Structure 1
Amino acid sequence: MESSMPNTPDSGRSRSRSRSRERIGKLLREGGDVFTVADAARILGLGNEDAAKTLARWCKQGWLGRVKRGIYIPIPVESISKDRALEDAWILIPDLFGLSYVGGWSAAEHWDLTEQIFRSICVFTTRPVAKRQQVIHNIPFVVKHVPTDHLFGLKVVWKKEVKLSVSDPTRTIVDMLSNLRAGGGISHIVDCFKNYTKSPQFKPPQLIEYAERLGNAAVFKRLGFLAERLLSPDHFLVMACKERLSKGNAQLDTALRGNKLITRWRLFVPAMLSFEMEPTA
């Protein structure tokens, strides 16, 4: 009669480690590149509290990285540090910011409207924003709140099976003219606008439509001013913007107050700024 192996503490720990590895493998296979406590609870068949404790333990063991409270990512075996930047940080955006879209300079990079490379990711979200600048898992984000009725002019993109939205080229330009900081400053916005007018995505009527929906009167003053210099004085955009001028004066560059008033555009322009505004070819 064969004797059975004794049930020692070491064998019990071995079985426990084996079960843990199986559960980790299941989570990594089914959880994707980013997952929440609720995702882990569903995949592992646990309650939310037990799932949270399990994820916290695996973080300490180096299997997972905690991006933010309740949001985790897998750590590759070859990774030196769990605080590494993600290969494509956009996959974090839906879980971090909810109903949102990538915009501003980040969208300009996506649509090849700029040659500049920005380290920060510009995000517009419908969630309340306590801090405009946030660093999450070594990734810097610049975040702006928008109302839900401003979620227009967006395109769906997929990053590693994660679905998210990015402003289309026209909406990107309008957003940057409305919020100059989201455009990286007026000089960069001018370069993006030049590239936009030379691209197949250049849609003047859509620019006017989006600007009207956004509801920032300063956009028409800045857009008309730029179009007059970069396109032509009788271009459709110039005429359409003139028809929509509101009372009062605006600043071309809110970071550098203008001392020269362009009366026909009701726009203060810094005299020291020359944007090399040759007409586009």
Structure 2
Amino acid sequence: MATKKTEKRLGLGKKSSRLLSELAEKNKSIFTVDDAVKILKEKKSSATKLLHDLTRKKWLFRLSRGKYLILPLEAGVKPEFTEHEFIIASNLIKPYYISYWSALNYYGFTEQVSKTVFVATTKRKREMNILGIKIKFITIKKNKFFGSKRILVNNRPVNIAEKEKVIIDCLDLPRNCGGIIEVIKAIDSAREELDFKKLEDYAKKMKNSAIINRLGYILELLNIKTRLKPSKHYIFLDPLIKKKIAYNAKWKIIENIPKKDLLSWREH
């Protein structure tokens, strides 16, 4: 959850108080200019000016053009950001779903906590720093944009990768989850929760032979049966490491991490 104190906030007028109170009653911590227009029953230009003033006075935080976050009334004269980072991220781009390191952590598949929220999307958007947290937008091809579901976070809907899809996303781009060892740990810790047929189907659906080779190699490493067939081309086990230690002919994997290190975390 994002939490960041700011400087002392300034006074609140009757109109502003009514706006914030009605938004709070509707459980809208994040709202648009149009929402304000409906409540105030004023012109858009007038509502926009009021929101600008409330932002300056530290009652609101501007997330993006025409979209604002309310700084909780109960925070007192020194406002504090308390909205969950997934909810904030969900309001910044469409279509989207939370994945990679963030989803691994949500499901409890990793003990590592990232200060960055990873968002999969088909659009391009620069990394943002909001409320002291980084939100990184990972642009993926449309054929890879599948396998998400809707969950409730603080009673608000958020799209997140399914358990099987987050594993596949991480195999596709290991840099977004801390490297291939984190993926191995995740699969091992989640082996009772994963649908391995779905996992393999999703790997094929991505149309990326590197994912299939990595997944097959890792499943065999963890003594999990697989029906996957590798491609003919060699790929790096971890694309973050550009060195060659050995070659695995069966899975067409360039082993660039010593095998003893791939499972060394089990000893701790």
**TM-score (norm. length: structure 2):** 0.85
| 1:167 correspondence with 2:161 | yes
Q: Which residue is equivalent to 2:100?
A: 104
Higher relative contact order (CA 8 A, sep 6+): 2
User: Structure 1 residue 80: deviation in Å?
Assistant: 6.5
The residue type paired with residue 268 of structure 1 is I
Mapping for residues 201-212 of structure 1, pairs under 5 Å: 201-212=193-204
The residue type paired with residue 202 of structure 1 is L
Q: Which residue is equivalent to 1:263?
A: 249
Describe the SS at the equivalent of 1:124: strand
Whole-Å separation in 1 of the counterparts to 2:214 and 2:242: 14
Q: Which residue is equivalent to 1:12?
A: none
User: Structure 1 residue 71: deviation in Å?
Assistant: 2.0
| Cα pair 1:125 1:146 within 8 Å, conserved | yes
Describe the SS at the equivalent of 2:91: helix
Mapping for residues 234-245 of structure 1, pairs under 5 Å: 235=225, 237=226, 240-242=227-229, 245=230
Mapping for residues 107-256 of structure 1, pairs under 5 Å: 107-129=103-125, 131=126, 133-197=127-191, 199=192, 201-232=193-224, 235=225, 237=226, 240-242=227-229, 245-256=230-241
The residue type paired with residue 37 of structure 2 is A
- The number of residues matched between the two structures is 252
Q: Which residue is equivalent to 1:6?
A: none
The residue type paired with residue 269 of structure 1 is E
Q: CA 1:276–1:39 in 2, change beyond 3 Å: closer, same or farther?
A: same
- Once the two structures are overlaid, the 10-residue window that deviates more, 26-35 or 203-212, is 26-35
The residue type paired with residue 276 of structure 1 is L
CA radius of gyration, larger in: 1
Q: CA 1:38–1:146 in 2, change beyond 3 Å: closer, same or farther?
A: farther
Describe the SS at the equivalent of 1:141: strand
| 1:52 correspondence with 2:31 | no
Q: Which residue is equivalent to 1:92?
A: 88
Q: CA 1:81–1:121 in 2, change beyond 3 Å: closer, same or farther?
A: farther
Runs of 4+ in structure 1 off by over 6 angstroms are: none
> How big is each residue's C-alpha offset from its partner over 1:120-174, in whole Å with a ceiling of 9 and x where there is no partner?
1111012223x3x321232211210124443322121112332121111111111
Whole-Å separation in 2 of the counterparts to 1:278 and 1:141: 28
Describe the SS at the equivalent of 2:120: strand
User: Structure 1 residue 223: deviation in Å?
Assistant: 0.7
| Cα pair 1:230 1:277 within 8 Å, conserved | no
Structure 2: segments with no counterpart, 5+ residues: 1-11
| 1:276 correspondence with 2:263 | yes
Higher helix fraction (1 or 2): 1
Q: CA 1:165–1:19 in 2, change beyond 3 Å: closer, same or farther?
A: closer
> How big is each residue's C-alpha offset from its partner over 1:172-222, in whole Å with a ceiling of 9 and x where there is no partner?
11111111112221121111111121x2x2211111110111111101111
| Cα pair 1:121 1:140 within 8 Å, conserved | yes
User: Structure 1 residue 85: deviation in Å?
Assistant: 4.6
User: Structure 1 residue 103: deviation in Å?
Assistant: 0.5
